[in-house]
Amino acid sequence: RPIAEHQAIAFKLAEMATKVEAAHLMMVNAARLKDAGARNDVEAGMAKLLASEYCAEVTQEAFRIHGGYGYSKEYEIERLMREAPFLLIGEGTSEIQKTIISRGLLREYKTKN
């Protein structure tokens, strides 16, 4: 029977799709703020942080599902496994994104109090 019919794999696929959708929605929210002319550094940092972390997780899970086939250049997962780690450092490391987020949150807190 197809591997996707196994409950364990189906649940992994559901979790992976949920993570991709959550990251996408955060990116759309940050983009809408930018389009409206509002400050979006906190939201953009959150979107980058979540998307890069989820990308690494989802790619790793997909690689596990593919098993040995994941090493074959015939499948796109091989390329994704090579590229996914770059996203963790590409637009600023996760630690830098956390710094941006926390500074923005503290700035907002100070202006409200």
Is 76 designated active site?
no
H runs (alpha helix) in the chain = 7-35, 41-66, 76-89, 94-112
State how far the Cα of 8 lies from the Cα of 96, in Å rounded to an integer: 35
DSSP state of 39: -
- The one catalytic residue in 43, 91, 95, 108 is 91
Q: What residues act catalytically?
A: 91
